[in-house]
């Protein structure tokens, strides 16, 4: 934790754009063990994309269809760090497994702020909760939202018993005042809030500092700040660890080297634009 802020490591999901969501088992296990040892609350593996509509990617693109393969990699070492994956509700959906059959603990619904339909969103929330998962809602391209729009998202969460919503700065346009006002809009309604900062404009650390000082409940990062569909990068996990007063040690040095090796090994599968 950073004070009371919980941390998501999104390295596999975000860097998956550069590797096609192919990662070798050793790297994934090492990353999970590192997460446990350094007090990282969640490790996000990828997406629940439909394998028939989005072909040719690695298993972490298909966290429902490829559940058995992922389980073989992680089940024997799974511990207190929870596993998550993202469900993009504006793309062809794959069938979800019940929680008791899945390696995944939490599902983060991805909905583009400007495409969000509350009726459809409620259906997806009810589905995921009914299957036994912890549910988050991630509103992407949030930096273009008005604060009133973010309030409406928080009101939806409150009404539908969603504990946490996320605002993702997909285009790196948020400002410190915007972050403060968005957090307050959620907290005033008793809804927990997370922030996902891309780093296209080099503002991720400034915005993270602002969010942490204003009691953000969840925050995301990636190793070396790598990842993103447009190679625009993220808040670095190294920066978050520093805020946690955690020394990554040799394990972090090794992991960063392993990550570079993944990028080289699977570069031909890149889905980044």
**Conformation bin of residue 146: beta by default, left when phi > 0, alpha when psi is -120 to 50:** beta
Read off the tokens for 15: 């860097």
Per-chain mean pLDDT for the chain: 97
CB-based contacts of 155-158 (< 8 A; 24+ apart in sequence): 155/189, 156/118, 156/121, 156/122, 157/186, 157/189, 157/191, 158/189, 158/190, 158/191
Domains and CATH numbers, the chain: 6-269 (3.20.20.70)
Per DSSP bridges, beta strands 134-140 and 106-112 are parallel
Burial 152-179 (b: 16+ CB within 10 A, else e): ebbebbeeeebebbbbbbbbbebeeebb
Asked if residue 1 has pLDDT above 60, the reply is: no
What residues contact 21, with CB distance under 8 A and at least 6 apart? 12, 46, 47, 57, 58, 59, 60, 61, 269, 271
pLDDT (average), residues 138-164: 97
Q: Using one digit for the tens of pLDDT, what is the confidence trace for 236-248?
A: 999 999 999 999 9
pLDDT at 273: 86
d(CA 160, CA 133): 15
Q: Using one digit for the tens of pLDDT, what is the confidence trace for 157-206?
A: 999 999 999 999 999 999 999 999 999 999 999 999 999 999 999 999 99
Decide which of 3 and 106 is more confident: 106
pLDDT at 3: 67
pTM: 0.96
Asked if residue 4 has pLDDT above 90, the reply is: no
pLDDT at 57: 98
pLDDT (average), residues 4-26: 97
pLDDT at 205: 98
Of 224, 219, 174, 225, the C-alpha closest to 192 is 219
Share of the chain above pLDDT 70, in %: 99
Question: What is the rounded (10 degree) CA torsion for 172, 173, 179, 181?
Answer: -160
Q: How confident is the model at residue 91 (pLDDT cuts 50, 70, 90)?
A: very high
Give the C-alpha distances (Å, rounded to integers) separating 127 from 98, 110, 168, 189, 266: 10, 14, 23, 24, 34
Per DSSP bridges, beta strands 6-9 and 106-112 are unpaired
């Amino acid at each position: 934790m950073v004070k009371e802020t919980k941390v998501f490591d999104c390295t596999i999901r975000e860097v998956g754009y550069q590797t096609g969501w192919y990662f070798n088992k050793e790297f994934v296990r090492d990353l999970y063990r590192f997460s446990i040892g350094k007090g990282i609350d969640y490790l996000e593996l990828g997406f629940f994309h439909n394998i028939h509509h989005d072909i040719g990617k690695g298993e972490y693109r298909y966290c429902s269809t490829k559940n058995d393969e992922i389980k073989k990699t992680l089940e024997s070492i799974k511990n207190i760090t929870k596993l998550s994956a993202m469900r993009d509700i504006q793309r062809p959906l794959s069938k979800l497994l019940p929680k008791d059959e899945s390696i995944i603990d939490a599902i983060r619904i991805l909905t583009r702020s400007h495409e969000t339909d509350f009726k459809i969103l409620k259906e997806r929330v009810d589905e995921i909760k009914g299957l036994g998962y912890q549910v988050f809602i991630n509103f992407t391209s949030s930096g273009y939202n008005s604060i009133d729009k973010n309030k409406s998202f928080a009101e939806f969460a409150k009404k539908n018993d969603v504990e946490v919503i996320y605002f993702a700065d997909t285009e790196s346009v948020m400002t410190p005042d915007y972050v403060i006002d968005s957090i307050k809009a959620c907290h005033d309604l008793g809804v927990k809030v997370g922030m996902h900062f891309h780093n296209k404009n080099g503002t991720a650390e400034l915005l993270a500092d602002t969010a942490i000082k204003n009691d953000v409940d969840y925050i995301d990062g990636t190793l070396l700040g790598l990842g993103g569909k447009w190679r625009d990068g993220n808040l670095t996990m190294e920066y978050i660890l520093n805020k946690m007063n955690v020394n990554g040690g040799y394990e972090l040095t090794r992991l960063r080297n392993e990550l570079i090796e993944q990028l080289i090994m699977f570069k031909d599968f890149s889905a980044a634009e």
